[in-house]
A = this chain, B = another copy of it.
Amino acid sequence: MNRVETPIILVNFKTYAEATGENAVRLAEMAEKANVETGVCIGVAPQFSDIAIIAKKVNIPVFAQHIDPIKYGSFTGHILPESVKYAGAVGTLINHSERRLRLADIDAAVARAREVGLVSVVCTNNASVSASAAALKPDMIAVEPPELIGTGIPVSKAKPEVVTSTVEAVRKIDPEVTVLCGAGITSGEDVAAAIKLGTRGVLVASGIVKAKDPYKVMLEFAEAILRAQS
Binding site for B on A (CB under 8 A): 12, 14-17, 20-22, 45, 47-53, 65-66, 70, 72-80, 82-84, 86-87, 93, 95-107, 124-126, 128-129, 131-137, 149-150, 169, 173, 205-206
Contacts and interface: CB of A to CB of B under 8 A. Distances in A.
A86 B52 contact: no
A129 B150 contact: no
Given A104-B100, A128-B107, A206 B74 contact: yes
A62 B27 CA distance: 27
Highest count of chain B CB atoms <10 Å: which of A70, A78, A95, A126: A78
25 contacts: A15-B70, A15-B75, A15-B76, A15-B83, A17-B72, A17-B82, A20-B83, A45-B76, A48-B83, A49-B49, A50-B83, A52-B52, A52-B53, A76-B97, A77-B93, A95-B102, A101-B102, A102-B102, A107-B125, A107-B128, A128-B135, A128-B136, A128-B137, A131-B135, A173-B173
Give the 6 A-B CB pairs with smallest separation, nearest first: A66-B77, A77-B99, A48-B48, A21-B86, A49-B87, A131-B135
Contacts of A173: 135, 173
Contacts of A47: 48, 79-80, 83
Contacts of A206: 74
A97 B104 CA distance: 9
Contact of A76 (B75, B93, B103, B106): B93
A1 to B, nearest CB: 17
A6 B79 CA distance: 31
A76 to B, nearest CB: 4
A136 B125 CA distance: 13
A88 B64 CA distance: 20
